[in-house]
Structure 1
């Protein structure tokens, strides 16, 4: 009885040893690309540079030079097993009707809903940006702005500002001019003109001259100063920084 057990154990050890040797001998140094593919299948990735070729199987690599295997990843068999399990998992999910969307497995109807929602959000953002761009145009050329104000029968709002150094100017821009309620109202009622007097940015000479001429013409002595002109170019009202947001500011210049 003991003799039979011993024979069985020896047989199992012999089989295990042969299996281990076979696994280790799946790919040998010197094998060709065709031999590698025949042994373990087509690679997930195949990168060639000069005579060097790198085949990837999951996290495992097989490197060939001149179509001969020169390097093989450590623990190739175990890495192949992990890779195969991952592929089996992916295949099972596909058979279950799932699709991979941005790294997540989900039902096709879920993907469709996400794509639709993303498209709607993108459209909403583009529409918002378009509205803001169209309703928040600040001109810098006085003659152009005056011509538009006259042809459209709108008042011209001139903002005399020091955009990169004047604290109250920056607050006015943040609290009023960049707010949607102001830009929407301005689009219907005003042509906007910015006369800037920056310290860290150099304006074109012609623009500097224009702004200085306008500041002198309207008696501007501090920043920010707001001048509102009628469509015919005569002064309608004057103002400056007012706390309270767009509604308070607009009330101050009406």
Structure 2
């Protein structure tokens, strides 16, 4: 006796398997607040560098980067082992202390911006922007715009593996002459 399985059941089974593979391959990132990362950076014997993801709730590219890049298993594992990872809402309302200064939310138009986010981005409010700081919380570089997992990992390793101390970005990335 031959049993006929409807094509719709095949499609549902395919979707289920695809969803399970995506769930297994995605890795949850442990995000910290700025104050948590700053405390770890100042109290740990071997502190890590700090990575800040500056985002807004309304930014579609920010959400895409969360899903595609930060949940990529290879990216998440590298970042977790080399950086304290901070999520910073560019329009957040809570004051932030940094190097003896208090940064606040500044109302502007219908929304506003956070002074700390603006400072990290060099006054250029662009979302998403990822920011790399060294172990002493000194600016290494802001990187504006959406980054796919491969290119992002290349940038992260440039800072995370201290390559920036020996090579400029153009030489490292192969974009120099």
TM-score tier, shorter chain, comes to 0.5 to 0.7
Q: Does the CA-based 8 Å contact 1:242-1:248 persist in structure 2? A: no
Contact 2:62 2:146 survives alignment (8 Å): no
Say whether residues 1:139 and 2:32 are aligned partners: yes
**Relative CO higher for 1 or 2, CA cutoff 8 Å, sep ≥ 6?**
2
CA shift at 1:205, angstroms? 4.1
Gaps in structure 1 of 5+ consecutive residues: 1-127
Superposed CA offset, 1:119-139 (max 9, x none): xxxxxxxxx7xx945xx1111
| CA deviation map 1:100-119 (0-9, x unaligned) | xxxxxxxxxxxxxxxxxxxx
In 2 relative to 1, CA 204–238 (structure 1 residues): closer, same or farther, beyond 3 Å?
closer
Conservation of the 8 A alpha-carbon contact between 1:225 and 1:240: yes
Runs of 5+ unmatched residues, structure 2 = 1-23, 97-102, 106-112, 159-177
Could you say which structure has the larger radius of gyration? 1
**Inter-partner Cα distance in structure 1 for 2:133 and 2:94:** 25
Per-residue Cα deviation, 1:194-229 (whole angstroms, up to 9, x for no partner): 11146xxxx664479378131232224111111100
Deviation at 1:170, TM superposition (A): 1.4
Structure 1 SS opposite 2:152: helix
2: CA distance, partners of 1:249 / 1:226? 10
State yes or no: 1:216 paired with 2:118.
yes
Task: Give, in angstroms, the shift of residue 153 of structure 1.
Answer: 2.1
With over 3 angstroms needed to count, the CA separation of the structure-2 counterparts of 1:224 and 1:242, relative to structure 1, is closer
Query: 1:83 aligns to what?
Result: none
Cα RMSD after superposing both structures: 2.9
How many residues were matched structurally? 117
Q: 1:157 and 2:60 equivalent?
A: no
Q: Where in structure 2 are the equivalents of 1:73-222 lying within 5 Å?
A: 132-133=27-28, 136-140=29-33, 142-150=34-42, 151=44, 152-162=46-56, 164-197=57-90, 205-206=94-95, 209=104, 212-218=114-120, 219=122, 220-222=124-126
